[in-house]
Amino acid sequence: MVYITSWDEFVDRSVQLFRADPTSSRYVMKYRHCDGKLVLKVTDNRECLKYKTDQAQDAKKMEKLNNIFFVLMTKGPDADITEVTSKEQGEAQPAKRGRGRKQ
């Protein structure tokens, strides 16, 4: 299995993989409390990227990655994820009214 050692590399490559094929790419997370291990996998059924850890600090980084994927999946692969930081939560609410397509 392709385990990536650098977190940043894992994030970059998985976002790239998803943008290349958003319909078949998926992000999987497995957590085992008894072993205290967390494994993340991003695949498009051709290529597979994995990251494993037992560190609490990686759980925080994973939360950011979760947010990135949520945005990419709900708004589309071309969505701007550079805003996906704590700022977005404050700014997004007033901005939402202006963005709506249905309006």
Q: Give contact residues for another protein (rule: CB under 8 A).
A: 22-23, 25-36, 38, 53-59, 62-63, 66-67, 69-76, 89, 92-93, 101
Nearer to another protein, 6 or 89 (CB): 89
**Considering Cα of 39, then 7, then 23, then 95, what sign does the dihedral take?**
positive
Q: How far is the CB of 65 from another protein (least distance, A)?
A: 10
Q: How far is the CB of 2 from another protein (least distance, A)?
A: 18
Tokens encoding 18: 């998803």
Instruction: Give 3 or 31: the residue with its C-beta nearer to another protein.
Output: 31
Tokens of 30: 């497995």
The amino acid sitting at 73 is M
Q: How far is the CB of 4 from another protein (least distance, A)?
A: 18
Of 8 and 23, CB closest to another protein: 23
Q: How far apart are CA 56 and CA 46, in angstroms?
A: 30
Residue number with CB closer to another protein (4 or 62): 62
Q: What does 12-50 look like in DSSP terms, one character per residue?
A: HHHHHHHHH-TTT-EEEEEEETTTTEEEEEEE-SS-EEE
Q: CB 18 → another protein: shortest distance, Å?
A: 8
Q: In the numeric block, which tokens belong to residue 24?
A: 């078949």
